[in-house]
Every structure is written in C-alpha cells, then in structure tokens.
Amino acid sequence: MDRPVILVDKDIPWGIEAFDALGKVVPYVATDLAMDPSILADATVLACRSTTRLDCALLSAAPRLRVVATPVIGRDHIVCEDVRTAQRARGHAIEVFSAPGSTAAGVADWVVSSILTALPAAASLPRFKVGIWGFGNCGKALAARLSRLRVRWIAFDPPLQVATSGAFLSASQSDLADCDVVTVHVPLTGPQESNWPTRLMIGEATLSALSAGKVRLLCNTSRGAVLEHSAVIAHMAGGRGPMLALDVFEGEPVPDVGMISGPRIATAHLAGSVLEGRRRAVAKVRDDVRRYLRLPLSRFPMEPAGGFDRPVPLSISGRQQLRDVEEDILLAVPIDEWTRSFRNAYLSAAISSRAAAFEASRRGGTRREIRWNRLRQPH
C-alpha cells in the first residue's frame, strides 16, 4: 500500500518517534482536533489518547481511516457503535488497537502508596487485608506486590470466574466489606456489553455496605464513571467512611470540583504515568498497526536512545515487610504531594483553564516504575 498518513497526538510519549518509520506522521493537538475534525481528512491511522472521543463526528471527517491506535488500557473513549456504523457505510474495517496491561505496574505502585498515605498505620495492623475488585492486569500486578510485602488480599471478579469455568474462584461482595481497603480495577462497561456492567456500579448501596463493614479506604484507578457521581458527593458530604482515593474522574479533563476537593486522595489520572509503561504501550500499538497494514519490519527499542531521562526510584528484592519499605515507596510515589499540587492548581484555575491545569498535573506525575525484582504474578 502507499505510505500511510498517520495522525499522532503530540502528547503521546514517543508517539512521533514510534510511527515515523511507518508512514507520513502528522502531529496534532487533541484540543485542535476536537475543534476542527477536518484535520483527519487524509488520515489512514489515528494515534490518540483517552482524551479524544472517537465518535461519528470524528469518523465522518476521516473517510480514509483504517486504524485507530490508542496506547492506553481502556477503550471507553471509542464509541464502538459509531465505528461499526462507519465500517458498514464504507465497506471496510476500522481496526482499533489499545494496550491493556502496559501500565499495570505503575497503577499497582500508586495503590500501594495510596494505602500507606491514607492509612499510615497499615503496616502494623494485625490481619490487614486488601480487596481487589477486578482481577485483570492491574489487579494481578497489585496482588503480586501485596504478596511480596506479606499483605493479605482477596480478589472479587465474578466475570473472570465464569470466563475461566471456575478455575479462578471469586470472592464475594460481602468478603470485600470485610477488608480494610477495596481497590477497583475494572473496565467500563454497560449492560449491552457485559452481564456485569460496571458503569455507575458503585452507588449509595455499595458505599453504605462498605461503610458498614471494615472498609476504611476505597481506591479507584479504573474509570471515573464506575462511581455514581451524586452518591459519592453525598457520601463525602455526610462524612461517612470509607475514605476515597481517586485517580480517575468522570468528565476528564474537567471533572466536578467536588470530586477533586472532597476525597482523601485525588490525583490527575497519573497512576499509570510510568515511562516504561508508556513506552510499552506505544510500542504495542505501533507493532499492531505495522502488522495490520503489512508494513515493512522496523525496529522500535523498548528503551529510548540514551535511556530514560531519570533513574529507577527504588528497587525491592525478596519478601519485605511493608513497614521496611514504607518510607521509600512514599518517596518514589509521592501521593500527598501530587494531591496537594493538583488541588491547588485545579481549584484555583478559571473554568476555562481547568483542562490545562488537569493535563499539567497529569504530566507532573510522570515517573519511572519501582523495580520489583523477580516478582511472581498470580494466575
């Protein structure tokens, strides 16, 4: 085929470098694309972040589009029905590639640091237990770290139990209420997509059940719409437990100010902003595009030329006690610092500047992964 035209969001780390060997790269700014979709007129490939909503408005401006490459975990910014409609109208496929699992290590480190931040006595509590709601890539990465730190955990994932014909045995929702921490790692799905839809799944009833149990901290790093907004606002206004640690919000990059000011922890969708993970993500979707379009083999190393621009912040070897590495983890993943700076920037910004404040705070959390040597992933 002719050399493809590849539109690449300028804010995708290494995106321009990654796709440069595959075709004619046209860099763009996400806000410009939203205001002027005609930028897509000649595009064969669109490389976009989760801030770009691919719907009929964009698709109608992209008559030559064959591939969407989105180096993120989820696909809820892709309106699947609109993609299917465009495919039927054009008579050819529009393939969508994403990168599930690429940033799971960073997400897991964020959760561990959030637990230590919100519950500083966790390391000394007897029979401390974490409930992992969703046992995919991120849930398993967290479980591996908790096991290394000798922290008990359970996993709640009924769809996985069904999908594995019972090889994985899910905990129950009442088991979650018996945990000190519940952390959510689920895809965003509706009733048309899953028998266990997750959109708005955590509302007043679930929050009350968790509050009535032992749960003192609820973390969400999946998608903001997993939480029912009005129920969360009422929950925080009532001063009832559990505390909230949120990294994702409905309406990003301009979420409700109450969702930023109210939780114990609020960071700007940066849990997965680890350099190694970002590099893995763009490498994965780049290779998917190359194979799908049958382009010549070209090399994209897993480390940039000259290495990453900062050192690994921490290496953990062997089975440690949580208290032995607590201080180092908090330094490597400074949750309180990110929360303070995000709140100050976002809440003081004019309404028209909040999106820019959100994105700047997100970039401010970019870091290297903690290196967990010889970590064993659960199955």
At 76, the pLDDT band (50, 70, 90 cuts) reads confident
User: Residue 147 above 80 pLDDT?
Assistant: yes
Q: Which of 228, 250, 252, 369 does the annotation list as catalytic? A: 252
Cα–Cα distance measured from residue 333 to residue 346, given in angstroms and rounded to the nearest whole number = 20
The predicted structure's pLDDT at residue 74: 82
Total domains in the chain come to 2
Q: Would you state the pLDDT for residue 311?
A: 96
Catalytic residue at 379? no
3-class secondary structure, 316: strand
- The confidence score (pLDDT) of residue 339 equals 98
The per-residue pLDDT for 239 is 85
- Residue 58, burial from CB neighbour count under 10 angstroms (0-12, 13-18, 19+): buried
- Considering only 57-61, 191-195, 344-348, which range has the smallest mean pLDDT? 191-195
Q: Is residue 79 part of a domain?
A: yes
115 inside domain: yes
pLDDT tens, residue by residue, 4-62: 999 999 999 999 999 999 999 999 999 899 899 999 999 999 999 988 999 999 999 99
Q: Does one domain contain both 240 and 196?
A: yes
What predicted TM-score, i.e. pTM, was given to this entire model? Answer: 0.92
* Same domain? 211 vs 167: yes
The average confidence (pLDDT) of the chain is 94
Q: Are residues 90 and 228 in the same domain?
A: no
Check 75, 148, 216, 269 and give the catalytic one. Answer: 269
Alpha-carbon span 248 to 266, nearest angstrom? 8
Active site residue 223: yes
- Please write the tens of the pLDDT for every residue from 238-270: 887 799 999 999 998 999 999 999 999 999 999
pLDDT of residue 241: 77
Residue 182 binned pLDDT confidence (cut-offs 50, 70, 90): very high
Torsion of CA 311, 47, 246, 109, to 10 degrees: -30
In this predicted structure, the answer to whether residue 2 has a pLDDT above a threshold of 90 is no
Domain check: are 124 and 203 in the same one? yes
| Catalytic entry in 145, 223, 235, 279 | 223
Q: 51: domain range?
A: 5-98
The pLDDT tens digits of the residues spanning 86-133 come to 999 999 999 999 999 999 999 999 999 999 999 998 877 888 999 999
In this structure, of 19-28, 213-222, 274-283, 313-322, the range with the lowest mean pLDDT score is 313-322
186 within a domain of the structure (yes/no): yes
Residues 149 and 247 reside in one and the same domain: yes
| Rounded Cα distance, 99 and 108, in Å | 16
Do the domain assignments include residue 309? no
Token pair for 299: 């090399």
Residue 126 shares a structural domain with residue 148: yes
pLDDT in tens, 159-181: 999 999 999 999 999 999 999 99
Asked if 14 and 125 sit in the same domain, the reply is no
- Kindly indicate the confidence band of residue 1, based on its pLDDT and cuts at 50, 70 and 90: low
For residues 339 and 356, membership in a common domain is answered with yes
Could you confirm whether 269 is annotated as catalytic? yes
Tell me, yes or no, whether 31 and 74 share the same domain: yes
Tell me the average pLDDT across 148-155. Answer: 96
Residues 267 and 347 in one domain: yes
When pLDDT is averaged across residues 320-330 and rounded to a whole number, the result is: 92
Same domain, 162 and 260: yes
Segment (H or E) for 154? strand 152-156
Going by C-alpha positions, the residue among 333, 197, 201, 202 that lies closest to residue 270 is: 333
Whether residue 335 sits in one domain with residue 227? yes
Q: In what order do the strands lie in the sheet with 45-47?
A: 24-28, 5-9, 45-47, 67-69, 95-97
Whether pLDDT at 360 is above 70: yes
- Decide if 208 is inside a domain: yes
Residue 188's pLDDT is what? 92
